[in-house]
Structure 1
Amino acid sequence: MPWAHPKTAHIIAHLRGVTGAVNTEAKTIAERARALLAEHRHDGDATITVTRRRTDTTVDLVDEAASAIELGHVDRDGKHVPGLNILGRAAGL
């Protein structure tokens, strides 16, 4: 059975080239997400942010209603309104 050292993932994740590639991909995802959001935003303050940390870089949809925008919600009549899946589509998921 194949075996890998328990810290292999940690070592690889912290390599300069890997963290740089993750950051570059996050910026690309953010650009796509901003374009998708712009197609739907009629008003409001929803934005896409990129936050780079030591190892990871995250792309976030920032708004009071971010989860409803991304995942959907139930309207006043009890009907499900599908989310826009901005981040998911931008990431190719």
Structure 2
Amino acid sequence: MAEIYYDIADTIAHLPGVRQAVKTAAETIAAKAKADLASHRKTGKAEIEVEHRDTDSSVSLVDEAAVSIEYGHFVDLSEADEVVFAKGLYIIHRAAGLI
């Protein structure tokens, strides 16, 4: 009869090779994101941060306007009485291969 291991995902997540692969993947994504962000930088202090925890890692775009940088925003061109949409840069999405 088959056995069911309900905690197998937790077991696999804690394997040293898996933990290292997750860290490596995060560092690779961060390097791509940093290069992409640098090519778009004109002003501002946006930066890419990587955080490693026990079994996972995160790569973040850090800035007070991070959401606007990533996804886009509306710009009021006062002189022309016009509002236009500035496309997002999708820095994190592209670095992670999501688009």
TM-score (norm 1): 0.89
Q: What displacement does 1:68 show?
A: 0.6
Q: What displacement does 1:37 show?
A: 0.2
Residue equivalent to 1:72: 72
Structure 1 unaligned residues grouped into runs of 5+ = none
Q: Deviations over 1:23-66 (max 9, x none)?
A: 01110111100000011011110000111111111111110000
- Aligned equivalents of 1:29, 1:36: Cα separation in 2: 11
Structure 2 unaligned residues grouped into runs of 5+ = 77-81
Residue equivalent to 2:94: 89
Mean CA deviation greater in 78-87 or 40-49: 78-87
- Aligned equivalents of 1:10, 1:25: Cα separation in 2: 19
Identical-pair percentage: 51
Question: SS state of the match for residue 55, structure 1?
Answer: coil
Q: CA RMSD in A?
A: 1.5
1:3-22 residue pairs with structure 2 within 5 A? 5-22=5-22
User: Which one has a bigger Cα radius of gyration?
Assistant: 2
